[in-house]
Structure 1
Amino acid sequence: MKAPLPPLLLLLLLGAQWAVGTGSLPACHYPPGMWCSSWEIAVACQVEKQCVEYYQRADAKPASLVQIELYYECLCGGCKEFLTSQLFPTWKMLKDIMNVTLVPYGNAQERNDSGKWVFDCQHGPEECQGNTIEACLMNLLASVDRYFPIIYCMESAVDVIKAVQPCLAIYQPELTTEKVMECANGDAGNQLMHQNALRTNALSPPHKFVPWIVVNGKHTDDLQRQALNSLFNLVCNTYTGTKPDACKTEKDHIHMNMDGVCLN
């Protein structure tokens, strides 16, 4: 058995529980802090079951958060739909059991021109600018709790670029549009996009379209289908720890099809 625990702790965890079942505390000659210090004492105090359950709970490793990575491009219709209708709402409800990683790059191509990276994006220069702005927001704000609502706001808008200023004003008014554009138009944004290119090009299997969804480091056709149909249910079913109350009711499937994806 393990070393003695604080008497008050064991009184709360074991003594009260025992009293509920029997109407009185056990007639043993050991203080509560010793009840789980050895198996002999646990038997003498009639708390064997409680001691075993307590140490099982204490030794249990916390469940790992479900890791969701989204590889996307800011002007792809399917990416916008998945981010706004599935990923962001799911994150808002289940952020305690999941982590979200956003990688804006998608089907872009990069080349090195005299030491500077030049990008060609599927939906033109505006998409390259939008991807870079979103990468800069992540870098400048660091926390997903701070930058994800802004990116959701931008992706919900008809014009992603024009939405930058009003979305910042709503969610992070202390960060100026000028500061974000300084990053996006400078070396910092260029390097951030290069890192996103490296990360996207290193995917295994290589991405064939976007949105490309990776769950706990894995991408399969089945995981992609489940994520597109109901990311909420997928996260709840994947999480191995105690389910939050939100997971007790399964959400309806959205049945997103492949029509909106942007092929590589």
Structure 2
Amino acid sequence: MLSNLTNTLWCNSENVATECSVLDACLYYNTSQLDKKIKLTLLYETLCPDCQEFILNTLQRYVWKYGQDFVDFNFIPYGNARRTQLNNTWTIQCQHGPVECALNKLHGCAISKLVYVGKWFPLIVCLEEAAKLKMDPDAAFLLCSKKKKLDQTLSISIYKCANGVEGDLIQLQMAEITENVKPHPHYFVPWMLISNLSTAQLQIYQNGFFNILCDWHLGSVPKSCAEFTNFLKQQRNLEVYIDQK
């Protein structure tokens, strides 16, 4: 199992790396990955309350705000859905019903068509905010595409994708990714992967996830990590001040 794990779990310790006979590999890894962006993958489903909370708070307020300079975002909207095949035709059942399936398709199409995270992440946030308000997918997309000033041609392309075969094919791709994460399968959502590594232990730290990303990063400490540390200190000082009043 150790051979499936990455630098933070054994390459940060020379003794552990030596004991596991991977010291040379770790030395190469630590050098080759210096100051490279970390790939952060989120497995989620659109109507899951915990997923909405994680996207709108932890990711938007902290990881997106402070981590864009050293984090690559990768969203996989499928979650705990299940697919079955009959006569070469796939059917997907979503945990929160048909509306969630429609929203999952919409998210998948938006991410696929917009490509650049600076375009799709704000749209996903808007769609999740609308979902919390129980807006139907079409109304949510109309609102968010206007709010985020999407190009009309792109908006039409996303809408057609979400309501057609292309969106179904994207969902099958999302299913394939979700069903094959390693070394641990996902047990719930939201479920995080770092550098394509899926472990149950990582999920324990979802509430302090930005700190984990800062620790995982190899090379010079990103400026945003220091800014986040200062922000936390200010928050703690404010809490102490309020408690003392």
Does TM, scored on the shorter chain, surpass 0.5?
yes
Matched, 1:224 2:203: yes
Matched, 1:247 2:220: no
Distance 2:64 2:171 in 1: 24
Alpha-carbon shift at residue 197 of structure 1 (Å): 0.5
Higher relative contact order (CA 8 A, sep 6+): 2
> Hey, what does 2:193 align to over in structure 1?
214
> Hey, what does 2:17 align to over in structure 1?
none
Alpha-carbon shift at residue 246 of structure 1 (Å): 2.2
2:37 to 45, 58, 65: 65
Distance 1:238 1:91 in 2: 16
Larger Rg: 1
Alpha-carbon shift at residue 244 of structure 1 (Å): 2.7
Give the structure-2-normalised TM-score: 0.73
The 3 A distance-change label for structure 1 pair 61 and 98 is closer
Alpha-carbon shift at residue 181 of structure 1 (Å): 2.3
After TM superposition, the structure 1 stretch with the greater mean CA deviation from structure 2, 195-204 or 159-168, is 159-168
Instruction: Flag structure 2 segments of 5+ consecutive residues without an equivalent.
Output: 1-30, 234-245
1:187 to 151, 158, 165: 165
Alpha-carbon shift at residue 133 of structure 1 (Å): 0.3
The 3 A distance-change label for structure 1 pair 77 and 238 is same
Amino acid paired to 1:66: I
1:116–1:190 contact (8 Å) kept in structure 2: no
> Hey, what does 1:135 align to over in structure 2?
108
Matched, 1:123 2:96: yes
Amino acid paired to 2:160: E
1:148 to 103, 118, 121: 121
Alpha-carbon shift at residue 231 of structure 1 (Å): 1.6
Partner SS, residue 210 of structure 1:
coil
Runs of at least 4 residues off by over 6 Å: none
2:185–2:198 contact (8 Å) kept in structure 1: no
Using the aligned pairs only, state the percent identity: 31
Partner SS, residue 209 of structure 1:
coil
Q: How many residues align?
A: 194
Alpha-carbon shift at residue 111 of structure 1 (Å): 2.1
Amino acid paired to 1:92: K
Partner SS, residue 57 of structure 2:
helix
Amino acid paired to 1:159: K
The 3 A distance-change label for structure 1 pair 60 and 80 is closer
1:136–1:189 contact (8 Å) kept in structure 2: yes
Distance 2:46 2:91 in 1: 17
Matched, 1:83 2:58: no
Amino acid paired to 1:111: T
> Hey, what does 1:159 align to over in structure 2?
134
Alpha-carbon shift at residue 238 of structure 1 (Å): 1.3
After TM superposition, the structure 1 stretch with the greater mean CA deviation from structure 2, 146-155 or 158-167, is 158-167
After TM superposition, the structure 1 stretch with the greater mean CA deviation from structure 2, 177-186 or 206-215, is 177-186
Alpha-carbon shift at residue 247 of structure 1 (Å): 1.0
2:72 to 94, 99, 109: 99
Distance 2:36 2:189 in 1: 26
Give the alignment's Cα RMSD to 1 decimal.
2.2
Distance 1:100 1:224 in 2: 17
The 3 A distance-change label for structure 1 pair 117 and 234 is same
Distance 2:129 2:98 in 1: 20
Distance 2:81 2:32 in 1: 44
Structure 2 counterparts to residues 14-33 of structure 1, below 5 A: none
After TM superposition, the structure 1 stretch with the greater mean CA deviation from structure 2, 103-112 or 166-175, is 166-175
